[in-house]
Structure 1
Amino acid sequence: MMNQIPAATLRQAVTRNVAASIAEDEGSGDRTAALIDPERKVEASVIIRHAGVIAGRPWVDESFRQVDPQLAVTWHCNEGQQVDADTNLLTITGPARSLLTAERIALNWLQTLSGVATRCRSYADRVAHTQTQLLDTRKTLPGMRIAQKYAVRCGSCANHRIGLYDGILIKENHITSCGSITAAVERARETSPDVPLEVETETEAQVAEAIAAGADHIMLDEFPLESMTRVVERYSGIARFEASGGITEQKLATIAETGVDFISLGVLTKDVTAADLSLRIKDDD
C-alpha cells in the first residue's frame, strides 16, 4: 500500500509547520538579534559536518521567507542528494537580524529531515539488488507527519498510508473487534470499496483467510523467514506482501530476498538522528 503526498497537502504542511516553529521560537521578539544594527547585511553558509542525504528545502526556504522576505537563499546541492562531510549546502544573504532569528528555525527542519533521508538511503541501499520497496509507517513525530514522509521519499524509500483516511489497514485489534478477518474485509468492501485495503496476519492460516476474503495486500507480521518464503511463493501474483515487525537493518536483505513486495519500518521516522549542521556568517575581512 503505497501512497503519495498530494501537492496541496505538502504546501499547506510547509506553511503551517514553519509558522508554528517561528511562533514557538521567536515569540514576542528576538531579544538577542535586536542588539544588531538593523541596516547590517551579511552572508552566511550552512555546512554539514558529515556525509548525508539532504532533505527539507521547502521548509528551509519557507522559514527564511516567513521571517524576512529580504533573506535570499542560494542552494549548492539538490534535494535528495548524497553529500560529503563539510559540504556547503546553501548560502543566505540579507539583514543580519533576520538571518540570525531564522537560523535555528531553518536548521531544525534541515537537520531533522536530512537525518530521516540519510537513514532511509542507508536502508534502501541494502535492498537495492531486489524488487522490494521499503515503506515508512505512521510512527512519526507529532505534527511532523507530512515533513517526515516527504523526507522518506528523498531518501529513496516510499510512503505507506499518510493517515487513517487514505487506506484501510485491518490489524489484530480490528479483527478481534469485528469478529474475524473475513467479517472485517467484507465490511471494508461495503463501506469503502475504492480504498486500498490491507490485512495484518500473524499465521499462514490467517493469510489464507485474508486472501479468500478478497484482500489484495497482506502484512506478514513477525513471520519466520521460512513461513514468509512459503507464503510468498504460494500466493505469488494473487496478493502483494509486506513484511513487518522486528526487522533490523541487518535483516533487510535476507527478508527482501524472500520476494516480498514491501518491508515497512517504523525506525525510518521514529528514531531520528539529526544531521550535524553549522551556520557561519562570512567575516567582512
Structure 2
Amino acid sequence: MTSPDTPPARPVELTLLPLGARPGEEPAAGGCGAGCGCGAGDEAAAHDPLECGLDPDLADLLAAGGLDPVHVEDVAHLAVEEDLDNGVDVTTVATVPEEAVATGDFVARQAGTVAGLHVAEAVLSIVCTDEFEVERHVADGDRVVPGQVLLSVTTRTRDLLTGERSALNLLCRLSGIATATAAWADALAGTSARVRDTRKTTPGLRSLEKYAVRCGGGVNHRMSLSDAALIKDNHVIAAGGVAEAFRKVREEFPGVPVEVEVDRLDQIEPVLAEGADLILLDNFTPEATAEAVALVAGRAALESSGRLGLDTARAYADAGVDYVAVGALTHSAPILDIGLDLRPERRD
C-alpha cells in the first residue's frame, strides 16, 4: 500500500512502436499518422489498431521485470484479437463519439497484491490509435486496499473501452496470483522456507503467471522441462528405481540441476549418495518431514509438496525445509477484483 509520503503520480506519455520494431529502435513518428509503420498515413479510418506495437519505454519496463516484451506483445495481440473476432466493438462504436477522449482509472475493488500493470498498459497500446498518457499510482508487488487507484490512462474513449476487458482479464488474473502468493509468503514469514510455484500454469501465460508469483513474494521453480530435471514417480517406474533414474539423468545431462521426488524416508539416502541437488518430499506429514530434514542434514535442499495448505504451511516450514511447492498459486488462484472507472474529459 502506498503511504502519505508517496510522491504523487506523474503522467507518462506513451508513443506507439511500429509492429516488428524492437526496443531501442527509433520509430519514424509517434502515434498513427505520417510515418507510422502501420501505413495508415493520415487516413485514420483505414488504420488497423492491431498493427502497432509497444512503446520502447514500456518494453524496457517489462524487460526490467524479467518479462519478454515480444511475448507480452503477442499475448496482448491475442487477447484483443480474440475480443474483436475480426470485427469491431459494436457497442462502443455505436455509443461513443469518434473524437471523444477520457481518462480511465483502474481501481482495486478488494484488498490484495498487484501484478501486471505494465501488461495492462501493453494491451492498451495495442488497441490505441493515438498516443496515450498514463499515471502510475502504484507498482507491481504493492499491496492495495479497496477503492485505491492503481493506474490512470487518458486516451480516445473508444480505444479505452475496447481494450478494457482484455487489459482487466490479465491484470485481475496476475494480481490474483500475486495475492495468493503473498498469503503464503506471510504464512512462512520468519522461517527460512520460501513458497514457490510449479508448471501448473495457463498455457501461453506461464512467464506472466510466474512473474506474478515473484510479485507476491514467492520464487519460481523451473520455467520449462529443459532448464532443470525433476524425477517423479513415473520416471522412477520407467527407469527401474529412484537412484537409477537419477543416474541416467546425470549421465545424459551432466550440467542440469536435478531434483528427485521421494515419498518414503528410505528413498532419501540412495538419492543423496548419487548427489541429488534437491529432494522433493511428496505427501510427507510435518513429523516425517522433520525426520527427513534430520536425515539429510544439509546435504541437499528440501522441498515439501502435497498435503499443503495455508493452515499447515508453518508446520512444514518449521520442520526445516527450504521450499514449499504450491501448484494452487497458479492453477486455483481467484482473480483480484479490479475495475475501470471512466472520467470523461475534453481535449483542449
- What TM-score bracket applies, with the shorter chain setting the length? over 0.9
Say if 1:254 and 1:199 are closer, same or farther in 2 by CA, change over 3 A. same
Give unmatched runs, 5+ long, in structure 1.
Answer: none
Q: Is the 8 A contact 1:166 1:195 kept in 2?
A: yes
2:99 is aligned with 1:39: yes
Pick one of 107, 111, 122 that aligns with 1:62: 122
User: How far apart, CA to CA, are the structure 2 residues paired with 1:132 and 1:8?
Assistant: 23
What's the CA shift string for 1:97-140, capped at 9, x where partnerless? 11111111111111110011011001100111101011101111
Q: What corresponds to 1:188 in structure 2? A: 249
Q: State the TM-score, normalized to the length of structure 2.
A: 0.78
* d(CA) in 2 for partners of 1:265, 1:278: 28
**Where does residue 209 of structure 1 map in the other structure?**
270
Structure 2: which 5+ runs fail to align? 1-62
* Residue of 12, 18, 33 corresponding to 2:70: 12
Higher RCO structure (Cα 8 Å, ≥6 apart): 1
- For 1:15, the aligned partner's letter is E
Task: Name the SS for the 2:311 alignment partner.
Answer: helix
Pairwise CA distance, 1:236: 2.0
- For 1:93-112, what aligned pairs fall within 5 Å after superposition? 93-112=154-173
The amino acid that maps onto 1:135 is R
Aligned with residue 251 of structure 1, among 305, 312, 322 = 312
CA shift, 1:12, in A, is: 3.1
Q: For this pair of structures, how many residues does the alignment match?
A: 281
Decide whether aligned partners of structure 1 residues 118 and 7 sit closer, same or farther in structure 2, where only a CA change above 3 A counts: closer
Letter of the 1:157 partner, please give it.
G
State the shift of 1:142 in Å.
Answer: 2.2
Within the candidate set 202, 205, 217, 1:144 is matched to: 205
Task: Note if contact 1:14-1:58 (Cα within 8 Å) is conserved in structure 2.
Answer: no
Q: One-letter code of the match for 1:23?
A: E
- Find the partner of 1:166 among 224, 227, 234: 227
Report if the CA contact (8 A) 2:101-2:345 is conserved.
no
1:237 aligns with 2:298: yes
Question: What is the Cα-based RMSD across aligned positions, in Å?
Answer: 1.7
Q: Which amino acid aligns with 2:68?
A: L
* Deviation for aligned residue 1:278: 1.6
Tell whether the 8 Å contact from 1:117 to 1:153 is kept in structure 2 after alignment: yes
Indicate if the aligned counterparts of 1:135 and 1:264 stay in contact, CA closer than 8 A.
Answer: yes
Please identify the structure whose Cα radius of gyration is greater.
2
What secondary structure, in the 3-state scheme, does the structure 2 residue paired with 1:282 have? strand
Percent of aligned positions that are identical: 35
- After TM superposition, give the deviation of residue 13 of structure 1 in Å: 2.5
